[in-house]
Structure 1
Amino acid sequence: MMKLHTKLTLGLVSSLFAVSLATAAGSGTKMGPHHAGMDCNGMGMMSGDMKMDPVARAHKNLSELNAKLNLTADQKPAWKTFSDQVNDQAKNMVAMRDQMKDTAQSMPKKTAPERMAKMADLMENRAQNMAKMADAVKTFYATLTAEQQATFDKMQMSHMARM
């Protein structure tokens, strides 16, 4: 009869081996979770204008939002700060997408711990960018009237629904 320690070790090794096989198979076949018939460049399911270049999409969304908000002259500086952050975020998305493509090509050569560490780094970077964006939205939102806030909420939700 095998000792409990031996059974646990074998189970762990088997699990890691299965994950390694699944990762290797997914990276070479376009049938992993990010490739199953989706036009997404490894970024998850995208539809509509989500396939558009992030910078072009940001400009389009900002133009629509600016037109609908009817900002006052006093709100224009806050708009400039907000729109600059949105544009920076879009540029960061392009850079991150390019980095993820490079990372995806090198992943099969890395060990499982190296792959996990790389993905954690990418997620941490994305979380930091989202925190900056959340602060920018919060600051800009505070300058809006109740009617403008309702418009902003509605437009932001319609853009999120397209994701």
Structure 2
Amino acid sequence: MKKMNRKVMAGLLVLGLGAAGVALANPYWHGGGMGPGHMGGGGPCWGYDGGASASHWRDVGQQRTAYLHDQLKLNATQEKAWKDYQATITANIKAMQDRELIDFSSMTAPERLEKSQQLMKERDARMAKHLEALKAFYSTLSPEQQQVFEAETGPGPGYGYRRGGRWHRGGMGPHY
């Protein structure tokens, strides 16, 4: 009987170690059980290193913007519309960064909901300005430039398709 228990225990140990090895070898596992592209852990995701600073992301954004600008090959008229469009985006980002942190824990439920509604209205106003600037810029582009713009700013391949057991939203693409 003791020999049998030892064999069972040894078998369970081998199975447990094997399962742990498989889990660690799986590139989609990073401790949180979430797949690539999820920003909740240090899993593999292009462009996300698990601890990038704000300056890193600012640099990435500037690189993407410069790349798109170069790909569009804008003329002088389009350049002014591009600058206006970029100024709107920059203003929206600045407005988000300048917003003070809100302590929802000290609010009542109605106050939290009212504050959330106010923030959504502010967000909608920023989005309306962004859309207006985008339409103004987009209308200056030739059909070929519009195709480039769509290719470079679209959701990327696989948007909405089920991959790896999860819904994947794509991204701007691995151009950078």
TM-score in same-fold range (> 0.5): yes
- After TM superposition, the score normalised by the length of structure 2 is 0.56
Determine if contact 1:58/1:86 at 8 Å carries over to the other structure: no
Letter in 2 for 1:141: Y
With over 3 angstroms needed to count, the CA separation of the structure-2 counterparts of 1:55 and 1:121, relative to structure 1, is farther
Instruction: Pick the aligned partner of 2:75 from 72, 95, 100.
Output: 72
Determine if contact 1:59/1:87 at 8 Å carries over to the other structure: no
**Deviation of the 1:52 alpha carbon:** 6.1
Structure 1: tracts of 5 or more residues without a match: 1-36, 40-45
**Deviation of the 1:55 alpha carbon:** 4.8
Partner of 1:30: none
With over 3 angstroms needed to count, the CA separation of the structure-2 counterparts of 1:58 and 1:93, relative to structure 1, is farther
1:75-131 CA-partner distances (Å, limit 9, x unpaired): 1111111111122122223234xx3xx21xx21111000000011111111111011
1:38 is aligned to 2:18: no
With over 3 angstroms needed to count, the CA separation of the structure-2 counterparts of 1:135 and 1:153, relative to structure 1, is same
Letter in 2 for 1:130: M
Separation in 2, partners of 1:47, 1:128: 31
Partner of 1:113: 110
For the aligned residues, what is the CA RMSD?
3.0
With over 3 angstroms needed to count, the CA separation of the structure-2 counterparts of 1:61 and 1:95, relative to structure 1, is farther
Letter in 1 for 2:112: R
Structure 2: tracts of 5 or more residues without a match: 1-38, 157-168
Count of aligned residue pairs for this structure pair: 116
Determine if contact 1:107/1:115 at 8 Å carries over to the other structure: yes
With over 3 angstroms needed to count, the CA separation of the structure-2 counterparts of 1:71 and 1:59, relative to structure 1, is same
Partner of 2:84: 81
Larger radius of gyration: 2
Partner of 2:97: 94
1:161 is aligned to 2:170: yes
The structure richer in helix per residue is: 1
With over 3 angstroms needed to count, the CA separation of the structure-2 counterparts of 1:94 and 1:61, relative to structure 1, is farther
Partner of 2:27: none
Letter in 1 for 2:139: A
Sequence identity of aligned pairs in percent? 30
